[in-house]
Amino acid sequence: MTIHRLMYWLFLAVGMVLFATIGFLLADPFLKAVDSWFTGSPPIEPLWTRVGLTTAGLLMGILVANHSFQLLSRVARHLEEAEPDEKLAIGLGLVSAAIITFALYPLLFAIGGARLGWALTLLAFVILVYLSIVSFLSMKEYLPLTAQMARRSKGIKVLDTSVIIDGRIRDILRTGFLEGKLYVPGFVLDELQHIADSEDPLRRARGRRGLDVLKQLQADLGENLEVRMHDRLAPHTGDEVDARLVRLAKAMRADIVTNDYNLNRVAELQGVRVLNINELAEAVRIHVLPGEELTVIPIREGQEPDQGIAYLEDGTMVVVEGGREYLNQAIDVVVTSVLQSARGKMLFAEPKFADGKTEGGIDYSTRPYSGGRKRRPIR
């Protein structure tokens, strides 16, 4: 049972007891009033009058408590969605307003007298609450506790579904390039479970891979991996996973780790820092310039006649002109051009012969090129 459900039943019980008690206590005044109005009429049965008024109070208590709790729960949801510094500013504003109102209480009663003193005090409290909260919200960044909370939450990384399924996050963590605690929201875990239970075999395999990666991360990180602990900062309001993820990261002052380009854009627009695995992979790709020598192994035919396709250690595709006859053989090639596309880099190369020339007739034996090097082929 959640805290909201528990509070609802407690609120309902208090309302029922309160209004039932009021109904019971009103029975005697009601009987006296009826006796004075209807002199000589048959008396009303006191027992049934008390039972009726108590029952009416009980039903009224249920009705009032239910509507009151609905209103209170809306306020509670807004407070849950508020950022920690906003909650702190609101709390300080209420306390400050109460202290100032208590200090002004004698003066207000002296001005308004016994009849208007309470009204002036209540009005002053409402005005001071508004002004105090607005004042503290305007300087929330300078509050000591807020700064401390920001320092404490700094370094937390929130993982999304795509980066867990991808699996490269584990290798990155092993290198030590990603520091701080990792957090997996409950709704991300639920989405992984939903994908793992899919009827589509490919989708089901991806979901199970994500769950396996998450299990490995728990074994590797221990207490540095948290799950479901801070989801209350982004309560479910019918939004999709990405929207809740951004709202949660913003409330936690955390970074999002993803390889989803759309999530990347949405988070950055809302001021949330994003660590994109794909951008990291692109940044650490080997840079090759035309004229450099490589040693590659063509593993399949290309789209054009006589082409062979090879791959570097980082997955960069190399199209070898005239490489078809060298399939599954290590050959020395010279890069002739580099094509940058949305999917990454693609290299075009030609085999290099013993005389230092390529099939195109270009002599690279004495060509001064920068960074020329041979690389080991992937076996």
In the predicted structure, residue 370 carries a pLDDT above the cut 50: no
Q: Which amino acid is at 361?
A: G
Q: Which CATH architecture has domain 154-283?
A: 3-Layer(aba) Sandwich (3.40)
**What is the pLDDT, as a whole number, of residue 354?**
54
What integer is the mean pLDDT of 26-55? 71
What's the rounded Cα separation, in Å, for the pair 374 and 367? 15
The DSSP secondary-structure symbol of 353 reads: -
pLDDT tier at 374, thresholds 50, 70, 90: very low
More confident residue, 180 or 37: 180
Strands (E), the chain: 157-159, 182-184, 225-227, 255-258, 274-276, 293-296, 300-301, 308-311, 317-320, 331-341, 344-351
- Rounded mean pLDDT, 170-177: 84
More confident residue, 31 or 363: 31
Inter-residue contact 27 to 61 (CB < 8 Å): no
Which span out of 73-82, 279-288, 331-340 was modeled with the highest average pLDDT? Answer: 331-340
- Which pLDDT belongs to residue 319? 92
Does residue 269 have a pLDDT over 80?
Answer: yes
Least confident of 224-228, 363-367, 372-376: 372-376
Average pLDDT over residues 62-79: 80
Least confident of 26-35, 184-193, 316-325: 26-35
Token pair 């209807």: residue: 38
Domain positions in the chain are 3-138, 154-283, 287-379
Which helix (H) or strand (E) is 29 found in, with range? Answer: helix 27-37
User: In this predicted structure, which of 165-174, 205-214, 337-346 has the lowest mean pLDDT?
Assistant: 337-346
Q: Say which residues have a Cβ less than 8 Å from residue 320's Cβ, sequence separation at least 6.
A: 296, 298, 302, 307, 308, 309, 310, 326, 331, 333, 349, 350, 351
pTM above 0.85? no
The predicted pLDDT at position 281 comes to: 78
Q: Between these two residues, 175 and 320, which has the higher pLDDT value?
A: 320
Structure tokens at 47: 């027992």
Rounded-to-integer distance, Cα 82 and Cα 74, Å: 13
Between 218 and 49, residue with greater pLDDT: 218
User: In terms of C-beta density within 10 A (0-12 exposed, 13-18 middle, 19 or more buried), how is residue 149 classed?
Assistant: middle
The amino acid at 73: S
Ranking 41-45, 173-177, 238-242 by mean pLDDT, the lowest is: 41-45
In this model, does residue 191 exceed pLDDT 80? yes
What is 287-379's CATH number, 1.10.240.10, 2.40.50.140, 3.50.50.60, 1.10.540.10?
Answer: 2.40.50.140
Span 250-265, average pLDDT: 86
Mean pLDDT for the stretch of residues 345-362: 69
Whether the CA torsion 154, 155, 161, 162 is positive or negative: it is: positive
**150 neighbors 198 (Cβ within 8 angstroms):** no
Task: Classify residue 363 by its DSSP letter.
Answer: B
| CA proximity to 101, closest of 131, 135, 139, 134 | 131
pLDDT at 30 over 80: no
pLDDT at 367: 41
Least confident of 99-113, 154-168, 280-294: 280-294
At residue 212, the pLDDT reads 92
Mean pLDDT of the region 58-84: 78
Q: For residue 302, how many other CB atoms are within 10 A of its CB?
A: 17
Share of the chain above pLDDT 90, in %: 10
The band of 40, judged by pLDDT with boundaries at 50, 70 and 90, is: low
Q: Which residue has the higher pLDDT, 375 or 37?
A: 37
% of the chain surpassing 70 pLDDT: 80
Mean pLDDT of 162-182: 85
pLDDT at residue 170 is higher than 70: yes
Q: What is the largest CA-CA distance in the chain?
A: 133
- The mean pLDDT value for 210-215 works out to 91
